[in-house]
Structures are given as C-alpha cells and as structure tokens.
Amino acid sequence: MPNDASGTPMTVTLLGTGTSTGVPVIGCDCVVCRSDDPRDTRTRCSCYIEVEDLGLLIDTGPDFREQALREGLERIDAVCYTHHHFDHIVGLDDLRPFFFRNRAPLPCYADPKTASVLRRNYDYIFGEDRYPGAPRVTLHDVDAPFRIHSRYGEAASVRVIPLELYHGDLMVYGYRVGRFAYLTDVSHIPEATFEQLDDLDVLVLDALRPESHPTHFSFDEAVAMAQQIGARQTYFIHMTHNVRHADADASLPADIHLAHDGLTVCVDG
Ligand SMILES: [Zn+2]
Ligand SMILES: [Zn+2]
C-alpha cells in the first residue's frame, strides 16, 4: 500500500561505518588499526533500509560487494546517492548481480551535480553506447521528495525525502524515510533541513573523530546536533582510526551510540 512510511516499522542495516580510507588504514599500526575488536574494522559508509517489501540502498562505496555478500542482500529496489565522492559511488558496477534474476531496471536517485558526475564517470553505464554487460540502471536527478516502487512485482512503494546538507562547501544529500534519517558527510545542516528532521525515531549522523575537521562533524559537534534534532536514538558513522569503538561509545550520552559495520537497527513507525 502506498504510504510515506510513517507508522511503518523499518529495519536499517549499516553496511559500512568508516571514513574514506576505511579502518584499518593501509600501513598504519596504531592501536585502533591493530585492534582485535571487530567493531574497530570499518568499511566505507553505506546503508540498507528494509521497509514494507522494499530494499533501499544508500550509496555504493568501494566495499559494496563485500558488504552485500556479508549481509546476504537479495534485493534492491532503488539506490539513493548522497554525493559523488569515491567512497560513496565506486561500487556502482557491483550492482550487476542484482540483475541476474530480475531484469527490471534499477532506479538511482541523486542531486543534479552528483548525477552529472555519475553520467560522466560511468558513460559505459549511463551513456548512449551502453556496454552490454553494464548494470541496467536509470538515473534520476531529484530535488524534491520522490517515491520508490517495487522492482519485484509487489504493490509496495515508499516516499523518500532528500535533505540538503553541506559537506564543507559541497551541497550533499541526506535522506529521510518515515521516521528514519541518514546524514553522512556533513559539517552544516541548514535551518530548512532541521525543520524536516522532526519526530525521528532513529538518526544516523556523521561523526568523524574527536578533533574538528572542515567537512565533517567532530564528535562534540555531532553530539550537539543529535541533541538538537532529538531522535529517540542516534548512531554515529564515518569514523576514522582515531576512534576506538569501546572507549568512544562509552563516552557518549545514553541515547547516542557509535555504529559499527553490520549493525541492524529497528525503526518504530
Ligand atoms: Zn564519505
Ligand atoms: Zn591507524
């Protein structure tokens, strides 16, 4: 039944929770990179949302293939891109296996700038002269809420709201589905976007590391934002190797948690 997913419970799986290098960092022997706590291993950020019968993916980073295998992802009805940086897009070609048993084109959504970068970088997928083995995706520039429909024949559909954020000077998208919002790669939330973040059950938010950074929230900034937004629960993502899971998680307020790869969160409708 078409709806805006308010009142519909959802399951959100954080496929990856690390910064652009991933953790461990190649060549680093710091305590976090050598940690044997599995929560200190962080692949690049991506998120899978199950709502009604639908599976929505946010971003396809360089670890997407491994993440999809690890979590046993079986269906994707749409992909929502946050921005064009490599750690959020370069797994795009690994969407191909999702066409082996279902040839229906897979819609991808992005802001116009991200869409133009995707068209340019992946002309064998999006161009006139498409490579026969390329994933069958359609790319939609969006600047307003849109609706995702099933690729697998069910009547289910869900409304998705793109949210304007700033990653340094770069405008990027966060996404809201029902009472869930995902805000990665953000250092500033405009006032108009704040108003779209009311009544959240679960918020996923960028929190790079304790020290400040020009294009990501630091821990203190992210805690302040989370408290201002006031979701029932907030989970931090996009952490560097400066962050040891056990220590950092213990230092956060009770309704704010450090996410880790593979964490699954239920969202109340
Ligand atoms: Zn990123
Ligand atoms: Zn390290």
7 pLDDT more than 80 = no
Task: Give the count of beta carbons closer than 10 Å to the beta carbon of residue 3.
Answer: 16
Nearest listed ligand to the Cα of residue 61: 1
Count of domains forming the chain: 1
Q: CB-based contacts of 263: which residues, under 8 Å, 6+ apart? A: 13, 14, 17, 235
Residues 6+ apart with CB under 8 A from 6: 178, 179, 269
What pLDDT, on a 0 to 100 scale, did the predictor assign at position 86?
A: 96
Q: How much distance in Å is there from the Cα of 42 to the middle of ligand 2? A: 11
Q: Is residue 66 part of a domain?
A: yes
Say whether pLDDT at 208 is over 50.
yes
Rounded to the nearest angstrom, the distance between the alpha carbon of 17 and the centre of ligand 1 is 10
Q: Please give the backbone phi and psi of residue 179, each rounded to the nearest 5 degrees, phi first.
A: -100, 25
Q: What is the pLDDT of residues 36-70, one digit of tens each?
A: 999 999 999 999 999 999 999 999 999 999 999 99
User: Which is it for strands 264-267 and 10-16: parallel, antiparallel or unpaired?
Assistant: antiparallel
Residue 217 falls inside a structural domain: yes
Q: Per residue in 76-116, pLDDT tens? A: 999 999 999 999 999 999 999 999 989 999 999 999 999 99
244 C-alpha to ligand 2 centroid (Å):
10
Residue 63 CA to ligand 1 centre (angstroms): 12
37 lies in some domain: yes
Q: Is 1 inside any structural domain?
A: no
Report residue 229: phi and psi, to 5°: -75, -40
Q: Is residue 2 part of a domain?
A: no
Ligand nearest to the CA of 16: 1
pLDDT at 128: 84
Q: Is 50 exceeded by the pLDDT of residue 1?
A: no
Residue 32: give the domain boundaries: 10-267
Name the pLDDT band for 2 (thresholds 50, 70, 90): very low
Q: Cβ(197)–Cβ(164) under 8 Å?
A: no
> What percent of the chain shows pLDDT beyond 70?
98
Residue 91 DSSP one-character state: T
Q: What is the pLDDT of residues 168-200, one digit of tens each?
A: 999 999 999 999 999 999 999 999 999 999 999
- For residues 141-163, give the mean pLDDT: 96
**Is residue 211 in some structural domain?**
yes
- What is the chain's mean pLDDT, rounded? 95
Cβ neighbours of residue 118 closer than 8 Å, sequence gap 6 or more:
81, 84, 89, 92, 108, 110, 126, 139
In a domain, 98, yes or no: yes
CATH number of the domain bearing residue 206:
3.60.15.10
DSSP H stretches of helix in the chain: 64-71, 86-89, 112-121, 123-126, 191-194, 219-229, 245-250
**112: which 2 tokens?**
């116009």
Q: Could you say which ligand is closest to the alpha carbon of residue 26?
A: 2
Report if residue 4 sits inside a domain.
no
Reported pTM: 0.96
**Of 97-101, 157-161, 162-166, which range is least confident?**
97-101
Which residues have their alpha-adjacent CB atom under 5 A from ion ligand 1? Answer: 87, 185
